[in-house]
Amino acid sequence: MENDTTGRGYPRDSLLTRIKGIIQNNPVSRVAFALILISIVFSFLSKNYFKASNFISVLTRISELGIVTVGITFLMISGEFDLSVGSVYALSGFLFIQLANTGMFSPFALLITLIAAALMGIVNGLITVHGRIPSFITTLGMMMVIRGSLLGITSGSSAYYEGDNIIPIILSKALKYNVRPSHFWFFGIIILFSLILTKTRYGNWIFSTGGNKETARLMGVKVRNVKLINFAISSVLAGFTGCIVANRFQIIAPAFGTGIELDAIAASVIGGTLLMGGSGSIVGGALGASLVALVRNGLVLSGAPPYWYRTFIGIILIVIAVINLRKKVINY
């Protein structure tokens, strides 16, 4: 019997084999497959899971976590990461509300808040790259400083928004079918930063810096500047998210954003970003954020105790991180 072969003399792969190969060799495909699998499981556990109203609701959570994850992914690819984003998120929301409540034009309040967030990121970057201190220590300390200061300033009290309606409408006011502007901001940020990472010289510098900073320096890449910029980007996106949440709830509490730094790092790693840097994608990070948010949503709808959420995310994180690292080693 004559074999069905390709022009090279090898048996033609079946469609199933090709799909399997794509999933095994592409981190984005793996997390997309995990998303589909988890959605199927939760659809059996809860009849409300596949309702349009539920997906629009969970998209709000995906958007807010996803914007933070984009910044974290950018930074992690360059070989650093930021544990202070949750605290920056809370402080930015608080600062925005306080400025807007004085009667300041809310777009100006937002601009000042984002500049302040950028400065916090730059401080993280300066301490890390010039002080030669690991970013884990730098940003852990900054996380404590910012959160502690916010708690001290507010005495644990919440701040309520009393400013104009311009920024609330632009960032988070519910539209038809409960769709929110934050959804569009999320997709726009994904597109923008994906293009920067994959289509620009700066994107190449990020990968080079995270892959081998000494080689990158020899090639003329200003490694310190790349890291500083990415620390600032990470903080700005965290601050922007804090403002989105503050406008959605019309309130900010000092505890807002607690734990979001771990969710964002987990989402980025699940999406294929390596902790040591040099590899990752914005789309992968966004899909990782989607998976994290959908697991939380699915567990709530299925009636599972909320504390199981961390367990499931931890298992998924470990499994996918091990797979991604093994593939990286094999390819190397």
Contact at 8 Å (CB) between 62 and 260? Answer: no
In this structure, what DSSP letter does residue 224 have?
Answer: H
- Per-range mean pLDDT, top range of 25-29, 237-241, 305-309, 321-325: 237-241
Listed residue (28, 19, 321, 269) closest to 329, CA to CA: 321
Beta bridge partners of 252: 159
pTM of the predicted protein model: 0.91
Place of tokens 């600062």: 95
The DSSP result for 55-110, as a single string, is HHHHHHHHHHHHHHHHHHHHHHHTT---S-HHHHHHHHHHHHHHHHHTT--HHHHH
Buried b / exposed e over 310-329, threshold 16 CB at 10 Å, is eebbeebbeebbeebeebee
In words, the CATH class of domain 48-331 is mainly alpha
pLDDT digits (tens, 9 = 90+) for 225-240: 999 999 999 999 999 9
**What local confidence, expressed as pLDDT, does residue 313 receive?**
83
Give the pLDDT confidence score for residue 123 in this predicted structure. 97
In the chain, domain spans: 48-331
> 14, 55, 57: which is closest to 35 by C-alpha?
55
